[in-house]
Amino acid sequence: MIDMKNISKSYQVGTEKLQVLSDICFSVEKGDFVAILGPSGSGKSTLMNIIGCMDKPDSGEYYLDGHAVHSYPDKKLAAFRNREIGFIFQRYQLIPKYSVLQNVIMPLLLRGVSRREAVRQSMEQIELLGLAERLAHKPSELSGGQQQRVAIARALVGDPAILLADEPTGALDSSTGKEVLQLFTKLNEMGNTIIMITHDLNVAAYAKRVVRIVDGRLYTNQEA
Ligand code: ADP
Ligand code: MG
């Protein structure tokens, strides 16, 4: 599903070049559940942005679902991202003025799916995540755990190739965080491929496999 070869990325800060990712090689099979574990500032979000086709590496090759996305022009990359990646963020990033249904349906409408089909698919995800009683609620009328479940429903609609979660429990108390992680386990058992980024070893433990990132270099568990 994912094959990365020698991915490097730096940022220009004033006159200095800050090397953030160095020669990252990383593969993920369909159906996997991988945690990328690393301390703050190690390059996790930068790597997530590249995996999620929100940013491009300076050098290296990235194949997603057989497509050489490192050589895609920006517009094509954005369209590909909308189809292939479901994002889940620490702060949910729901649209405050939209209801649960409006938030979940939005990616489908943006992709040009008919309203009738979009409602059907959104309802299916909303029911799967136990939010059927909350359809008309706005995010501010939901608990943190419920908001994250809405964000997960939104990430799942349209059946993306990869679910990509950056610190998905970072804003939740520990018991709610645990529920979200158990939900990830269930979604992975249902066949979803999940990549989760975290600084917390207890969170990473829910994944089938853990890789570590330290100072922009990636290590499998054996090496770290
Ligand atoms: P993490 O998510 O592991 O905390 P990040 O990928 O966000 O790490 O950041 C890695 C390093 O790159 C940090 O030193 C950060 O300050 C720097 N960095 C991140 N984004 C930018 C940017 N847009 N411009 C310059 N430096 C950045
Ligand atoms: Mg980060």
**Which amino acid type is present at position 219?**
Y
The per-residue pLDDT for 221 is 64
ipTM greater than 0.95: yes
Between CA 109 and CA 224 the distance in angstroms is 44
Residue 149 belongs to domain with CATH number: 3.40.50.300
Q: What is the atom index within ligand 1 of the atom nearest the CA of 46? A: 6
| Ligand that comes closest to the CA of residue 89 | 2
Between CA 182 and CA 188 the distance in angstroms is 10
Q: Domain limits at 124?
A: 31-57+73-220
Q: What is the DSSP letter of 53?
A: T
In-domain check, residue 13: no
Model pLDDT for residues 114-164, shown as the tens digit of each residue? 999 999 999 999 999 999 999 999 999 999 999 999 999 999 998 999 999
Strand partners, 212: 37, 219
In-domain check, residue 66: no
In-domain check, residue 151: yes
pTM of the model: 0.93
Report the pLDDT averaged over residues 171-185: 93
In-domain check, residue 150: yes
Burial class (CB in 10 A: 0-12, 13-18, 19+), 105: buried
Query: What's the structural domain count of the chain?
Result: 1
Strand partners, 17: 12
Q: What is the atom index within ligand 1 of the atom nearest the CA of 49? A: 6
In-domain check, residue 147: yes
In-domain check, residue 22: no
In-domain check, residue 41: yes
Structure token digits, residue 15: 């006159």
In-domain check, residue 37: yes
Structure token digits, residue 73: 């022009």
Between CA 49 and CA 11 the distance in angstroms is 13
The ligand 1 site (C-beta within 6 Å) comprises 11, 13, 18, 20, 38, 40-46
Q: What is the DSSP letter of 29?
A: -
Write the residue with the smallest CA distance to atom 23 of ligand 1. Answer: 11
The per-residue pLDDT for 222 is 55
